[in-house]
A and B are shown apart, each in its own frame.
Chain A
């Protein structure tokens, strides 16, 4: 089976030594260009990435997931063959089969970006407390950007070159997710949500954002209003 040549999959990595090689190899089965950004990992993630055929971009200090994405996207933009970009989490929460479906969707439709959503299909088991926080974020997003989304903090996205050219993240922490939405609003990009399934293994549950981080996100976004 031939692999996809015109899409770059960008995987930001911070301390994922136990699982990253497996995840990269899985993605490499379907995609030729996998860009793995090591965001200053303290464990052996870097070596694990080097043992694969993915492209390694190495941050010598930790910047945050937004920073890793920005570096990966900037690099991918310079590759002439690349027409679409995928952002994919390194902890195993995202499923390759969802990516394939979203890729097919963006090729056929005229959307600039397709975002995964955990809330379109009802059979996703998400811890109740996390669900409440995410739903609150949905309301907040509707108020501040006017965008109707069911999942505002999903790291699984597929977008085209036009969209990629407009990405210039200021926030390198978790507020970067909201910046993607701002880009949609500012440039009037066509967006669509796509149902994705999430599996919360014990490993990935330990990796989630502490809920209190919502305070930081809101504060930073408020300080940036109007920019």
Chain B
């Protein structure tokens, strides 16, 4: 486990925690989109130039490009899962407030 790997892992974890806590802030949303586009571009490039992933992997100290892709995939999956959960909870809350408001309005309209 090289020093570079440790630093990268620590950095990525901090970024993820920050994203989760500030998920609705404007700049976080923008960066999420930037990351997503970068992810797609990397995918396109590595399909056209298969050695691309290998080169990046060696830069960091991981064996093969395929391993690198796997790690990225795991992180992306975690990220997406958490995002979906948060979004779902947000929507739940909106629905809850709607049902509540309707209940109160119905009562007040009776008068």
Contact = CB atoms under 8 A, between A and B. Distances in A.
A60 B104 contact: no
Contact of B107 (A60, A67, A70, A75): A75
A63 B107 CA distance: 18
Contacts of A70: 96, 100
A75 B104 CA distance: 6
Complex A-B, nearest 9 residue pairs according to Cβ-Cβ distance, in ascending order: A71-B100, A57-B103, A75-B104, A59-B99, A71-B103, A63-B96, A58-B103, A67-B96, A59-B103
Interface residues of A, number: 18
Interface majority SS (helix, strand, loop, mixed), chain B: helix
Given A57-B103, A59-B103, A60-B103, 5 more contacts: A58-B106, A61-B99, A67-B99, A71-B104, A75-B107
Contacts, number: 37
Interface string B84-95: 010000000100
A37 interface: yes
A170 B93 CA distance: 7
B99 A56 contact: no
A90 B96 CA distance: 21
The range of chain B's interface size is 10 to 19
Prevailing SS type, chain A contact patch: mixed
Interface in A32-84: 37, 55-61, 63, 67, 70-71, 74-75
Nearest to B85: A223
A41 to B, nearest CB: 13
B21 interface: yes
B87 to A, nearest CB: 13
A63 B104 contact: no
B99 A57 contact: no
A163 interface: no
A180 interface: no
